[in-house]
Structure 1
Amino acid sequence: MKKFLIGFISLVVIVIIGVQVAQKVVSSGDNYYVQITTDGQRVESKDDNGNSYVDYKYTLQGYDNNGKAKKLTFNATKDRPLRKEAFLKVTWNKKKGVTSYEEVAQKDVPDKALEKLGF
């Protein structure tokens, strides 16, 4: 029983550490800032069960903290387009492309990126 308990606890610890490492790898990357200027391209698809869903595909020029540009393509999984004129902080990973985005206030966009965005 003691060996089983030690093995079980070891397995749980390994799983927890593995999940944390995987999460860090997926969410790590370079931050770029974009401003939503279009409604995006509406893309209608079906999941594996045949249920319909809508994505909006965006291809926008993003800028990092130093004003370096990168063309970013990502999907917004919403039933409506993202809010026009909104600023987004986009995380880009070399292997995965865009891994996440979040809306930020204009004051939170670095000055060099904001300048490149036309402000």
Structure 2
Amino acid sequence: MKKTTGVIGGIVIVFIVAVILLINIDFNRLGKENAYVQLNEEPRVEEETLESGEVMKRYWYELPAYNKEGKAIAVEFSASRALREDAYLMLYLDDSNEVTSYDEVKESDIPSEVIEKIKS
């Protein structure tokens, strides 16, 4: 009886830990390459009207981004709102250079080689 209770308790603990990990892991960022970009161009805005009459906007950015070695990468990504003008972003790229996620970062967080490329 004690052995069965211990096994069931162990399985429950493993299950709870697995659920907590899955909730907290962002698979859009896990194992992705990073590139950096400054938002210095106006986004292209797409509007879609839902059946309810609500208008949904999508803001598309198409800019050159730079990896940590300073190599230029053409990227296109969207946001559900207009992002802050002149903001620096760290992009998360998959193997085909598709943007899966992004974070706003400070200029001081970006490698110096990349800042030089962005500002030129």
Which TM-score band applies after superposition, normalised by the shorter structure? 0.7 to 0.9
Compare 55-64 and 38-47 and name the one that shifted more.
Answer: 38-47
User: Greater CA radius of gyration, 1 or 2?
Assistant: 2
Match of 2:17 among 13, 28, 31: 13
Q: Aligned residue for 2:42?
A: 39
Cα distance in 1 between the residues matched to 2:33 and 2:61: 18
Q: Aligned residue for 2:109?
A: 108
Q: Aligned residue for 2:86?
A: 85
SS at match of 1:54: strand
RMSD of aligned alpha carbons: 2.9
Corresponding pairs, count = 115
Q: Which amino acid aligns with 2:18?
A: I
Match of 1:64 among 49, 63, 67: 67
Cα distance in 2 between the residues matched to 1:19 and 1:49: 32
Unaligned ranges ≥5, structure 1: none
Cα distance in 1 between the residues matched to 2:13 and 2:83: 44
When the two structures are superposed, what TM-score results if normalisation uses the length of structure 2?
Answer: 0.74
When the two structures are superposed, what TM-score results if normalisation uses the length of structure 1?
Answer: 0.74
Q: Aligned residue for 2:29?
A: 27
